[in-house]
Amino acid sequence: MPPSVSPWVVFTLLWLTLPVVRETVTLTCYGFGFNLPQKTKWYWNSKIVEEIQGHTFKVRVSGVHQCQADNFHISIPVHVRFSKELFPRPVLMIRPSELIDGSPVTLACQTQLPAQKSNVQLQFCFFRNLQALGSGCRSSSEFHIPEIWTEDAMWYQCTAETTDAQVSKRSLPIRITVQRAFADFQIHIVPASRLVFEGQLLLFNCSVKGVPGPITLSWYKRDKLNKETKITKSSEAEFKISRVNSSDAGDYYCEANNSRRSFVSKVVTITVKVPVARPVLTLGGPGAQTVVGDMLELHCEALQASPPILYHFYHQNVTLGISSALSGGRGSFNFSVTAEHSGNFFCEADNGQGPQRSDTLTLSVIAPVSHPILTLGSLGDISAPSGERVSVDISLTADHSGNFFCEADNVPKA
């Protein structure tokens, strides 16, 4: 065909049908007068497949191929037939198949050379979202990623090619999914109730599972104003407060941090209580003179203590009664005085750490005299001559003094 009509497609072997044992064949398109065109179009089975700058085109599939240079007609069709594959398309394998944040992963590009081609050297390239991984292709069919994270969840591929790059095949893309790590925190507090009294020891301990390491543990405190503060010298699993005071109350949490992200535990609320001070016992009633039958009121108050407070009232070491102050303040106990209430009184206050005892208060009860009984020598009237003394015995029901009088009456003789 005259070169003025159509460009030529030239092969090393000039056959209209070209059997190829290799994986790739290079086609060259010549223009008029065997000039090399600057731009060419390439056709496969009568369909345009590529328009490129230059005049060569690598073919990897069997079929009818043609070219078109500049404004010339399409070239004579040439049938290229690949008779045998050098090696099959590689398959990208992921190990392990289930991945979580920070876990290592190995990419394996698997293919197989035929026995008669065992001397052929292959090299392997790995890609993430079409971007090359590592420093380039390598002789090893595996690529190791020390840590993979959720943000690395993308499409991965590999290529296997001969060292002269004449044969190159790419695997199908695989999307790798990475599960976000779940931090399983274990928080231990001493005391376990998380209620601590001023002056006591408070101990925090934090451990975590499921977070890829190495990790750093830190403790933080959040106060009532929601202000967060990193606790000094707390970049360890444990820290302690040797003597707690009221300012140590608040919300605490543990943070686990690795090279990529941080994980936070649930909040632990610490309540600090003020232990009861020594209570004061006071007496309310009619005054200094307490008489049987009066109504008395005992007051017991711990001036420094966190509520609720429980008060016990005692008389001669025997419990009289109990009073509770749910919101703090004093407790009271009322009773009607009997003669047996003479003696010592005290009270105790307790809000959970242990009772504190007041000083003793002593009470003296005055019992009023009962109706006196006047007895004479014998029952009945007594008569005596003028000038004689009469003896009278008086018996009282209580050992108390009183004022007594008697009357004498002269009875005339019959």
Q: What is the pTM of this model?
A: 0.54
pLDDT digits (tens, 9 = 90+) for 197-206: 999 999 999 9
How confident is residue 315, by pLDDT bands cut at 50, 70 and 90? Answer: very high
Say what percent of the chain tops pLDDT 70: 79
Cβ–Cβ under 8 Å, residues 292 and 310 = no
In degrees and rounded to multiples of 5, residue 175 shows phi and psi of -90, 120
Confidence at residue 392, expressed as pLDDT on a 0 to 100 scale: 59
Has residue 401 got a pLDDT over 60?
no
Q: Which CATH class is domain 184-272?
A: mainly beta
Pairing of strands 78-82, 17-20: parallel
Does the CA dihedral 7-10-14-17 come out positive or negative?
negative
Confidence at residue 165, expressed as pLDDT on a 0 to 100 scale: 73
Superfamily covering domain 280-366: Immunoglobulins (2.60.40.10)
The mean pLDDT value for 340-353 works out to 92
Q: Which CATH class is domain 8-82?
A: mainly beta
Has residue 411 got a pLDDT over 60?
no
Say what percent of the chain tops pLDDT 90: 43
* Separation between Cα atoms, residue 203 and residue 353, nearest integer Å: 18
DSSP-assigned letters across all residues of 336-358: E--GGG-EEEEEEEESSS--EEP
Cα angle 115-117-119, degrees, rounded to a multiple of 5: 110
Mean pLDDT of the residues in the chain: 82
Strands (DSSP E) contained in 174-294 are: 174-175, 178-179, 184-190, 195-197, 202-209, 216-222, 228-230, 238-241, 250-257, 262-264, 268-273, 280-284, 290-291
Confidence at residue 120, expressed as pLDDT on a 0 to 100 scale: 86
Has residue 342 got a pLDDT over 70?
yes
Cβ–Cβ under 8 Å, residues 96 and 86 = no
Confidence at residue 387, expressed as pLDDT on a 0 to 100 scale: 57
Enumerate residues 6+ apart whose C-beta is below 8 A from 238: 203, 204, 205, 206
Has residue 370 got a pLDDT over 80?
no
**Are 91-179 and 184-272 the same fold in CATH?**
yes
| Residue 48, both tokens | 């345009």
Structurally, what CATH architecture does the domain formed by 91-179 represent? Sandwich (2.60)
pLDDT digits (tens, 9 = 90+) for 146-180: 999 999 999 999 999 988 777 889 999 999 999 98
Has residue 3 got a pLDDT over 50?
no
* Separation between Cα atoms, residue 52 and residue 41, nearest integer Å: 7
pLDDT top residue among 387 and 213: 213
Confidence at residue 406, expressed as pLDDT on a 0 to 100 scale: 56
Confidence at residue 74, expressed as pLDDT on a 0 to 100 scale: 87
CB atoms within 10 A of CB 214: 8
pLDDT digits (tens, 9 = 90+) for 241-297: 999 998 899 999 999 988 788 899 999 999 999 999 999 999 887 655 788 888 899
How confident is residue 369, by pLDDT bands cut at 50, 70 and 90? Answer: low
* Separation between Cα atoms, residue 131 and residue 173, nearest integer Å: 12
Confidence at residue 10, expressed as pLDDT on a 0 to 100 scale: 46
The mean pLDDT value for 304-332 works out to 92
| Residue 292, both tokens | 């049987």
Confidence at residue 367, expressed as pLDDT on a 0 to 100 scale: 77
Has residue 8 got a pLDDT over 50?
no
How confident is residue 81, by pLDDT bands cut at 50, 70 and 90? Answer: confident
Confidence at residue 24, expressed as pLDDT on a 0 to 100 scale: 74
pLDDT top residue among 31 and 412: 31
Does the CA dihedral 397-402-407-408 come out positive or negative?
positive
Q: Strand pairing partners for 40?
A: 52, 69
Confidence at residue 176, expressed as pLDDT on a 0 to 100 scale: 95
Domain boundaries, the chain: 8-82, 91-179, 184-272, 280-366
Cβ–Cβ under 8 Å, residues 323 and 289 = no
Neighbour-count burial of 305, counting CB atoms closer than 10 A to its CB (0-12 exposed, 13-18 middle, 19+ buried): buried
Has residue 142 got a pLDDT over 90?
yes
Has residue 5 got a pLDDT over 80?
no
Q: How many helices (H) and strands (E) does the chain have?
A: 0, 39
